């Protein structure tokens, strides 16, 4: 039955890389032992994907939007809204959200630690409680509703709700330590942007006062005495995958930003114990959950693994190889339970290249392998950045991958007669 055909979509964050000198100019994917990824390539069709566009380093948000079929140049409306969505907050159409960090600054406002010594989640909660108390008094004066929600360690989200706000404001986070906290500036001439920037400035000062005076901060070394924020955003108004393709999708990721992108696309967000978004994540639990979701009626299960990206950001070449091999193993176990000749399509890719050398997202394309009942098989036998360049998919844009997959599931309407 065609309507029963399902898809497992595996996105390994920043898994693609550039050639690494100490590996004899091979990439981590070329070095790692990946029999199961190679098996997918062998049984399927391969290619290269430019998540956003050739040479453009994608963010995790824009890349994953694209991989779900949404052109980020058309739909991207900033990180903050997606991050807030991913944390389970409800955002109205005009509400503006920011990604926040608890940070340590000196008396001149110079950032000494952008993560306040990676403050514990518990301590951050205590400080956030004090901030919320102060906001209850201040919000009415500002004429907007303000919500401050801590998540893990130094991470938090700030939401401004109400009329007359804009996401066209600059970050206060200087992005590097040793630099002063920046002033939030309007990025265009609208009244809304000026008002929002002004509110952010007043809130930043309020947060600084509240935090500096908080008794907990007398003990904490370093103290978490400031909130720096970035990525002003609103929730993008996307047609959901349900509306576009009539499918039910489930997202399995530990990363709020990815969850937010998936939620904006109308996917259900799974809560998988052991999924940490770090090196210690329970890959087997994530894939098991995906298979369960597919057995339970979902048409699409997306498994997102963060740690490959972390390894590149941390310049840990061996850790990246190790993570790739662990993903390969967990993928292999999942594949052994799937019937790729009849029922299931599996697509494997990365959301972007993250370079072990630069430690940054780069604009190089990523390899993709797609296997399943009706795929045209090319002769490619290994899954990596170079082999897949020989593949039958040639080179696609990220946003084209979802229609290709959905068409194989029989879910794309004909354009024309």
* Least Cβ distance, residue 288 to a second copy (angstroms): 29
Measured from the CB atom, the residue of 230 and 326 that comes closer to a second copy is: 230
Q: Are 97 and 81 in contact (CB under 8 A)?
A: yes
**What is the rounded distance in angstroms from the CA atom of residue 371 to the CA atom of residue 36?**
12
Residues facing residue 226 across a β-bridge: 103
Q: Could you tell me which residues come within 8 angstroms of residue 271 by beta carbon, excluding any fewer than 6 positions away? A: none
Among candidates 24, 21, 212, 240, which has minimal Cα distance to 106?
A: 212
Contact footprint for a second copy (CB under 8 A):
2, 18-19, 25, 27, 48, 52-63, 72, 76, 79, 99, 231, 257, 355, 357-358, 360-364, 374-379, 385-386, 389-396, 400-407, 410, 412-417
* Least Cβ distance, residue 345 to a second copy (angstroms): 12
Q: Is the sign of the CA dihedral 349, 352, 357, 359 positive or negative?
A: negative
Between the alpha carbon of residue 408 and those of residues 25, 43, 346, the distances in Å are 36, 15, 11
What's the token pair of residue 4? 């029963």
Measured from the CB atom, the residue of 144 and 157 that comes closer to a second copy is: 157
* DSSP per residue, 159-225: EEESSS--S-B--S--SSTTSBPPPP-BSSS-HHHHHHHHHHHHHHHHHHHHHHH-HHHHH-SS---
Measured from the CB atom, the residue of 151 and 225 that comes closer to a second copy is: 151
* Least Cβ distance, residue 211 to a second copy (angstroms): 25
Measured from the CB atom, the residue of 44 and 223 that comes closer to a second copy is: 44
* Least Cβ distance, residue 2 to a second copy (angstroms): 7
CA atoms within 13 A on the CB side of 285: 13
* Least Cβ distance, residue 11 to a second copy (angstroms): 15
Measured from the CB atom, the residue of 173 and 192 that comes closer to a second copy is: 173
* Least Cβ distance, residue 128 to a second copy (angstroms): 22
**What is the rounded distance in angstroms from the CA atom of residue 40 to the CA atom of residue 383?**
8
**What is the rounded distance in angstroms from the CA atom of residue 321 to the CA atom of residue 372?**
27
**What is the rounded distance in angstroms from the CA atom of residue 338 to the CA atom of residue 343?**
8
Measured from the CB atom, the residue of 125 and 175 that comes closer to a second copy is: 175
**What is the rounded distance in angstroms from the CA atom of residue 300 to the CA atom of residue 250?**
6
Measured from the CB atom, the residue of 43 and 192 that comes closer to a second copy is: 43
* Least Cβ distance, residue 282 to a second copy (angstroms): 26
* Least Cβ distance, residue 19 to a second copy (angstroms): 6
Among candidates 292, 294, 269, 272, which has minimal Cα distance to 283?
A: 272
Measured from the CB atom, the residue of 117 and 365 that comes closer to a second copy is: 365
């Amino acid at each position: 039955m065609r309507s029963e055909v399902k898809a497992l979509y595996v996105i390994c964050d920043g898994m693609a890389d550039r050639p690494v000198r100490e590996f004899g100019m091979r990439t981590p994917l070329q070095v790692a032992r990946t029999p199961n990824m190679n098996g997918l390539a062998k049984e399927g069709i391969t290619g290269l994907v430019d998540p956003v566009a050739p040479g453009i380093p994608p963010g995790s948000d824009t890349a994953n939007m694209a991989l779900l079929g949404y052109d980020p140049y058309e739909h991207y409306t900033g990180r903050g809204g997606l991050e807030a969505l991913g944390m389970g907050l409800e955002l109205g159409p005009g509400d503006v959200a920011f990604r926040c960090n608890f940070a340590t600054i000196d008396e001149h406002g110079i950032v000494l630690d952008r993560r306040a010594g990676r403050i514990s989640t518990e301590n951050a909660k205590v400080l956030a409680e004090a901030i919320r108390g102060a906001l209850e008094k201040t919000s009415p004066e500002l004429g907007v509703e303000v919500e401050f929600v801590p998540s893990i360690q130094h991470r938090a989200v700030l939401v401004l709700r109400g009329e007359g706000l804009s996401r066209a404001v600059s970050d206060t986070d200087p992005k590097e330590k040793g630099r002063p906290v920046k002033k939030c500036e309007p990025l265009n001439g609208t009244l809304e942007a000026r008002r929002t920037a002004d509110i952010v400035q007043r809130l930043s000062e309020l947060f600084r006062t509240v935090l500096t005076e908080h008794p907990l901060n007398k003990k904490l070394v370093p103290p978490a005495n400031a909130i720096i924020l970035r990525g002003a955003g609103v929730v993008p108004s996307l047609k959901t995958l349900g509306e576009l393709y009539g499918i039910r999708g489930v997202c399995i990721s530990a990363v709020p930003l990815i969850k937010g992108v998936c939620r904006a696309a109308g996917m259900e967000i799974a809560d998988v114990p052991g999924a940490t978004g770090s090196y210690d994540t329970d890959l087997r639990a994530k894939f098991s959950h995906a298979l369960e979701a597919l057995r339970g009626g979902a048409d699409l299960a997306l498994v997102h693994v963060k740690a490959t990206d972390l390894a590149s950001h941390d310049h840990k070449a061996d850790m990246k190889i190790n993570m790739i091999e662990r993903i390969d193993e967990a993928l292999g176990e999942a594949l052994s339970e799937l019937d790729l000749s009849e029922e299931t399509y599996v697509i494997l890719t990365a959301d972007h290249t993250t370079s072990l050398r630069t430690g940054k997202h780069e604009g190089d394309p990523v390899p993709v392998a797609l296997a399943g009942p009706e795929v045209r098989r090319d002769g490619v036998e290994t899954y990596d950045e170079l082999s897949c360049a020989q593949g039958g998919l040639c080179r696609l844009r990220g946003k084209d991958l979802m229609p290709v997959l959905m068409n194989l599931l029989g879910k794309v309407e004909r354009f024309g007669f």
